[in-house]
Amino acid sequence: MSAFVPASGFVLRTSAFTHGGAQARAQDQPSRFAQPTKRAARGVPRMVSSDVTSIDFSKVNINTAGQNLAGLVFTPESETDAIVKTRVDVGYTPAQEEAVNRHINVEYTAMYAYHAIWAYFDRDTVALPGFAHYFNEQSKEEREHAEEFMKYQNKRGGVVQLQPIAVPEMKFTMEDGTSDAIYAMDLHLQLEKFVYHKLVDLHKVAAQQSDVQMQDFIEGYLTHQVDSIKTAADYLSQLKRVGTPHGVYHIDLALRE
């Protein structure tokens, strides 16, 4: 077996193939392949010429080995090449990159809102540690989702660009006597629906670009959002059923677990 090493360090190995009782050796292209020298220490092949810029696999006859790579051309990356934006791109469009950045902002917006609700219930004049714990966990979850979308952006070759966070105005003291717990849980339900609809918008962008992998990635979050919407709706219904203040206290006990 012989080994050819282009400037990039890519190793192409050619060997005798056996097919139908006969041996056929891959055709070497002297004008395209560098010739190997004697092996260096530890058997590492070395290169004589450094002017190899590409290997055209369509010129290598490996049909006798039952393989056909016609048309595949490997071009090594030169050390003098300009810095590339990404090496992992497989059809990730600017529209997708922009849409993912928008959704990262959506997740951080929900995180910020839940963090504000947590701080309210943790006050000494409110003292509902169960609600405080619940909304703190919601805040952490939204941050995790934001970071997961940031990692996805990087995985697909995009560039993460964080944007300003918009937080809805919150008034926990309601003039109509609505309890702060009901108000917070109602806001929770609306936030989960908001995130759901934004995920649907993101899924549409992926569908428009015919990116089935991105669609699959988003669909997992859509399923999670449906579950979160049901949980928030259940808690809101229970709060409206039991009333205040004793009912809220008992639900707070349950939320501490």
In CATH, what number is assigned to the domain containing residue 146?
1.20.1260.10
| Co-location of 53 and 122 in the same domain | no
Binding positions for Fe cation are: 107, 142, 145, 192, 225
Residue 80 lies in a domain: no
For residue 13, give every residue at least 6 positions away whose Cβ sits within 8 Å of its Cβ, in sequence order, or none.
1, 2, 3, 4
| Co-location of 250 and 196 in the same domain | yes
Residue 89 lies in a domain: no
| Co-location of 68 and 119 in the same domain | no
Q: What is the pLDDT of residue 81?
A: 61
Q: What is the pLDDT of residue 229?
A: 99
| Co-location of 64 and 115 in the same domain | no
Q: In tens digits, what is the pLDDT along the chain, a chain of 257 residues?
A: 444 444 444 444 444 334 444 444 444 444 444 444 444 444 444 444 444 455 555 565 655 544 555 556 666 777 656 677 899 999 999 999 999 999 999 999 999 999 999 999 999 999 999 999 999 999 999 999 999 999 999 999 999 999 999 877 888 776 565 689 999 999 999 999 999 999 999 999 999 999 999 999 999 999 999 999 999 999 999 999 998 788 999 999 999 98
Q: What is the pLDDT of residue 12?
A: 45
| Co-location of 248 and 136 in the same domain | yes
Boundary of a domain, candidates 74, 107, 124 = 74
Residue 87 lies in a domain: no
| Co-location of 67 and 101 in the same domain | no
Burial of 116 (0-12, 13-18, 19+ CB in 10 A): middle
| Co-location of 103 and 29 in the same domain | no
| Co-location of 120 and 191 in the same domain | yes
Residue 130 lies in a domain: yes
Residue 57 lies in a domain: yes
Burial of 99 (0-12, 13-18, 19+ CB in 10 A): buried
Residue 124 lies in a domain: yes
In degrees rounded to 5, what are phi and psi of residue 211? -100, 90
Domain interval for residue 112 = 94-255
| Co-location of 104 and 64 in the same domain | no
> For residue 56, what is the enclosing H or E element?
strand 55-56
Structure token pair of residue 118: 């947590």
Structure token pair of residue 113: 């809102």
| Co-location of 62 and 108 in the same domain | no
Structure token pair of residue 90: 């497989």
Q: What is the pLDDT of residue 50?
A: 46
Structural domains of the chain, count? 2
Q: What is the pLDDT of residue 177?
A: 56
pTM (whole model) above 0.85: no
Residue 149 lies in a domain: yes
| Co-location of 167 and 208 in the same domain | yes
Residue 88 lies in a domain: no
| Co-location of 130 and 37 in the same domain | no
